Chain A
Amino acid sequence: MSFFTEENRSLAREIIGRYPRRRSAMIPLLHVAQAQAGWVSEEAMVEIAELVDTTPAEVLGTCSFYEMFKREPVGKYLVNICATMSCALAGAAELMEHAEERLGVRAGGTTPDGLFTLASAECQAACTEAPCLQVNYRYRYRVDADGFDQLVDDLAAGALDDEIPPHGVTARVRQHIPAGRAVGAVPPEAVNEPPVWIAAAASNGAGSA
């Protein structure tokens, strides 16, 4: 039984094909797995290992280094409240306190209905709009207690489904390189000459870098 759906398996092959070495596709493939299931299972890692030609242990090693990969199920909505400097100066601690009370879980916990996981996060690059948070990596700026309650109500009611996909899906637009336009990835050991435009400039007497 394969973990990836037929569609994701072909997406995985397309992604792998863009890199000079298969292993470079490992993090993107872990994202594809997480987008499919909401988290990264052992089964997924075993299959990624086969796809990028390495061992499951190597995949686990990479997977476990990165904060975004969850190796057990989390809520449909991962609510990351920024706790770093600019947000802290603007009341992030109070926002977290309110969020813990509203959702009835501590930071790191998941609500019993499986809808929300609340987490304390590091700087999210929205420092002028503090305090900020991300729901499945979609921003909400200058969030106060009322704004947080409204957000939770709307998410629970499904009113934001168009904007915020379930946990695991980050970008909904994917790169697609049309076959006729692609230069193609070549293993580095297969190349030992400068690219044509450099060679051409050199042979015209202009020299090259």
Chain B
Amino acid sequence: MASYTIPHAPGFVANDAPRIVTERFDHPDSYTLERYLATGGYEGLRAALGRTPEEVHGEVRSATLLGRGGAGFPAGVKWGFCPPGVWPRYLVVNGDESEPGTYKDRLLMELDPHQLIEGCLIACYAVGLSQCFLYIRGEMAVAQERVAQALNEAYEAGWVGRNICGTDFSVDIVLHWGAGAYVVGEETALIESLEGNRGMPRLKPPYFPAAIGLYGQPTIVNNVETLANLPWILRHGAEAFTAIGTPTSPGTRMVAVSGHVQRPGVYEITNGTTTFRDLIYGDDYCGGMHRGRELKAFVPGGGSAPWFTPAQLDLPFEASEVGPQGSMLGSGAVMVMDDTTDIPAAALTLTKFYAHESCGKCVPCREGATWLERVLRRVCDGTGTPRDLDVLFEVGASICPGDFPHAAVPERGLEPKPFPYQMTTICFVGPSAFAPVHSAMTLFPEEFEARVAPNAHLDTGPSDGPASGTGPSDGPASNSISEVAIRV
């Protein structure tokens, strides 16, 4: 007989920091309506319904709730982008969490689905959104079950649907689920997918679906964690929310720390003040590197973010500090590499991810990401040449012209290049394929040079433009990862 223990809250580690969105995680029945109602559930909605939609919007605006999906745009401001007088308006919940290293939305959906539902209702009430579509990543079967169960309970109990709490506020929340495509996390691709199409990002402008979104109507797309903050804000007030963290990054945020640390985990941290050093070395958090090893590098904000080294450990979770130092906070995912990590191979696992997930709409991404993967694979397996390193940068420059952001390298006198970058693609998948390559080659050039040096005599082509044999066509595509072994 099998004996598998499926943990209640896989990866979640509680600490002494204030808890806003994870306060129910300790209860084994955190996902039930009964537990939710016993712990302040739907009180934020009741408070909202006692005020005008305008007032509720104002409360959220003054809370400076930054979007937790990656871009960090203030939710209250985004809500205000709906053109006046255009109806109907929709809410689309982005639960398609797929950024490498990230998992917080999955836990929020599995462990506290009613909190998310309440957040959706508050947003719909405030902005006049008449239908809500809750889009959950296809691979998250348990999250889909928990949210479906919670919606069924909430409908029966009168929290969702017609005349909520006996008022004239009525809204349906429709559970929708995807089928496996990273790019659908981009909000216009999410809308395409919800319309039954291939999940390809839409041309911009308009930059915000609040202007033209689902079925061409004004549409608010918010991340799961963003919405999960709303019940607390309405219950305790914007002032209590901004008392936590810093004025520019108030509240808390969920961060998953994975890789070579003693205690990998998903932590709810105080926004703006917690540093990467706290997270990686703090006793309340990861407790330092595993096996007594040294820190070599870390990815601060999900697979798309340029990398940091120990020189950036004292930066806090504050976009205005991390950006000028050459990276971004993204979706709350820190991936830690120790001193035994094979850096080119680590970069390859990420670049391979983005090459695989390119939707094919923009040529620089479709072709470029594939080239990056093939050439980098050759460098990793020892058949690359010094010219290949130039090719990697040339291909990267076709996706992101100009200087690409990177961290400072004090020992080489290299100044940081601030975030963001220029791009020739509609969305961030293409640049994300280049980010790990650029970071790895900029921070650890010697590891790449050592890999290709033995083959220097093979570089015989003309010096400008890729030589024959550098293209993606000179070897069959391989989906096997067996050649990408990373030492631990």
Interface residues of A (CB under 8 A from B): 18-21, 23-28, 30-31, 52, 54, 61-62, 65-69, 80, 83-86, 88-94, 96-97, 100, 106-108, 120, 122-130, 134, 136-141, 150, 154, 159-160, 163, 170-178, 180-186, 188, 191-198, 200-201, 204, 206-209
Partner of A123, one of B160, B345, B353: B353
Cβ B175 vs Cβ A93 within 8 A: no
- Confirm or deny: B62 has a beta carbon within 8 angstroms of a beta carbon on chain A: no
* Smallest CB separation, A94 vs chain B (Å): 7
Contact A191 B303 (CB under 8 A): no
Other-chain residue from B82, B481, B486 in contact with A120 (beta carbon distance below 8 A)? B481
**Residue in B closest to A89 when the chains form the complex, CB atoms:** B259
A135 to chain B, nearest CB (A): 10
Residues of A within 8 A of B422 (CB): none
Closest residue of chain B to A95 (Cβ to Cβ) is B481
* Chain A CB within 8 A of B260 CB: yes
**Are A85 and B145 in contact, CB atoms less than 8 angstroms apart?**
no
Residue of B whose beta carbon sits closest to that of A141? B10
Chain B contact residues (Cβ within 8 angstroms of A): what range? Answer: 35 or more
Instruction: Please tell me which one of the listed residues A85, A140, A171, A194 contacts residue B128 in the complex, with CB atoms under 8 A apart.
Output: A194
Q: From B1, B140, B197, give the contact of A159 (CB < 8 A).
A: B1
Task: Tell me how far the C-beta of A31 lies from the nearest C-beta in chain B, rounded to whole angstroms.
Answer: 7
Q: Do the beta carbons of A175 and B264 come within 8 Å of each other?
A: no
Q: Is the CB of B53 within 8 A of A86?
A: no
B175 neighbours in A (Cβ, 8 Å): 175
Residues of chain B with a CB closer than 8 A to A92's CB:
481
User: What is the CB-to-nearest-CB distance from A72 to chain B, in angstroms, rounded to a whole number?
Assistant: 16
In order of increasing CB-CB distance, the 10 nearest A-B pairs are A67-B180, A66-B179, A26-B196, A181-B161, A171-B144, A125-B103, A128-B264, A127-B258, A86-B258, A23-B196
Does the CB pair A196–B170 fall under 8 Å?
A: yes
Determine whether the beta carbon of B172 is less than 8 Å from that of A185: yes
**A201–B176 alpha-carbon span in the complex (Å):** 31
The 10 sampled A-B contact pairs (Cβ below 8 Å) are A18-B172, A86-B259, A89-B488, A94-B485, A96-B482, A128-B10, A130-B258, A141-B7, A182-B172, A191-B87
Cα-based distance from A100 to B480 in the complex (angstroms): 10
Please name all residues of chain A whose beta carbon is closer than 8 Å to the beta carbon of B486 when the two chains form the complex.
88-89, 91, 93
Docked-complex contact A27 and B151, CB < 8 angstroms = no
Task: Count contacts between A and B, CB distance < 8 Å.
Answer: 295
Chain B residue with the shortest CB-CB distance to A83: B481
Interface of A is mostly: loop
Let me know if B82 and A27 touch, CB within 8 A. Answer: no
| B482/A91 in contact, CB under 8 A | no
B406 to chain A, nearest CB (A): 18
Encode B406-445 as 1/0 by CB contact (under 8 A) with A: 0000000000000000000000000000000000000000
Query: Are A172's CB and B145's CB within 8 A?
Result: yes
Residue B169 at the A interface, CB < 8 A?
yes
Residue from the set B106, B149, B177, B265 with the largest chain A CB neighbour count within 10 Å: B177
Q: Which residues of A contact B141 (CB under 8 A)?
A: 136-138, 170-171
Are B82's CB and A209's CB within 8 A?
yes
How many Å from the CB of B438 to the closest CB on chain A? 16
A167 to B265, CA, bound (A): 30
Given contacts A90-B488, A97-B482, A191-B87, whether A127 and B10 have CB atoms under 8 Å apart is no
Contact A120 B479, beta carbon cutoff 8 Å? yes
Given the known A-B contacts A106-B480, A177-B161, A188-B88, are A208 and B174 also in contact in the complex, defined by CB atoms under 8 Å? no
Contact (Cβ within 8 A) A127 B152: no
Query: Is B43 on the interface with A (CB-CB < 8 A)?
Result: no
Query: Are A123 and B98 neighbours in the complex by a CB distance under 8 Å?
Result: yes
In the assembled complex, the Cα of A198 lies from the Cα of B86 at a distance in Å of 13
B244 within 8 A of A: no
- In the assembled complex, B54 has its CB within 8 A of some CB on chain A: yes
The CA of A169 and the CA of B172, in the complex, are separated in Å by: 25
Query: Shortest beta-carbon distance, B272 to chain A, in Å?
Result: 23
- Given pairs A69-B180, A197-B170, A209-B80, 7 additional interface contacts (CB within 8 A): A31-B179, A86-B264, A126-B103, A127-B335, A150-B2, A183-B131, A206-B55
- 1/0 per residue, CB under 8 A from A, across B133-147: the answer is 000011111101110
Q: Does B11 contact A (CB under 8 A)?
A: yes
Given A85-B101, A123-B100, A126-B11, check contact A196 B168 (CB 8 Å). Answer: yes
Do A108 and B482 touch across chains, with their CB atoms under 8 A apart? no
Among A21, A97, A183, A200, the residue within 8 A (CB) of B161 is: A183
B249 contacts A by Cβ under 8 Å: no
Residues in chain A near residue B149, CB distance under 8 A: 173
Closest B residue to A174 using CB positions: B148
Interface residues in B1-51 by Cβ distance below 8 A to A read 1-2, 4, 6-7, 10-11
Q: Which of B53, B80, B181, B257 contacts A198 (CB 8 A)?
A: B53
- Contact with B97, one of A125, A130, A178, A208 (Cβ below 8 angstroms): A125
B357 touches A65 (CB 8 A): no
Chain A residues near B99 (CB-CB < 8 A): 123
Taking CB atoms and an 8 Å cut-off, the chain B residues in 60-109 that contact chain A are 79-80, 82, 84, 87-88, 97-103, 105-106
Query: Do residues B177 and A170 form an inter-chain contact, with CB atoms below 8 A?
Result: yes
The answer to whether A127 and B196 touch across the interface, beta carbons within 8 angstroms, is: no
B333 within 8 A of A: yes
Report the minimum CB–CB distance from B20 to chain A (whole Å): 20
Once bound together, how far apart are the Cα atoms of A96 and B176, in whole Å? 32
A residues in contact with B127, CB < 8 Å: 209
User: Hey, which chain A residues are within 8 Å of B256, CB to CB?
Assistant: 127-128
Contact across chains for A195 and B128 when beta carbons are under 8 A apart: yes
Of B55, B169, B264, B299, the contact of A130 (CB 8 Å cutoff): B264
A207 CA / B53 CA spacing, docked (Å)? 9
- Taking CB atoms, residues of chain B closer than 8 Å to A28 are 176-177
Taking CB as reference atom, which chain A residue is nearest B266? A128
Residue numbers in B under 8 Å from A23 (CB-CB): 195-196
Q: How far is the CB of B399 from chain A (nearest CB, A)?
A: 20
Given contacts A68-B139, A120-B479, A141-B10, contact A183 B258 (CB under 8 A): no
Q: In the complex, what residue of chain B is closest to A20 when comparing beta carbons?
A: B215
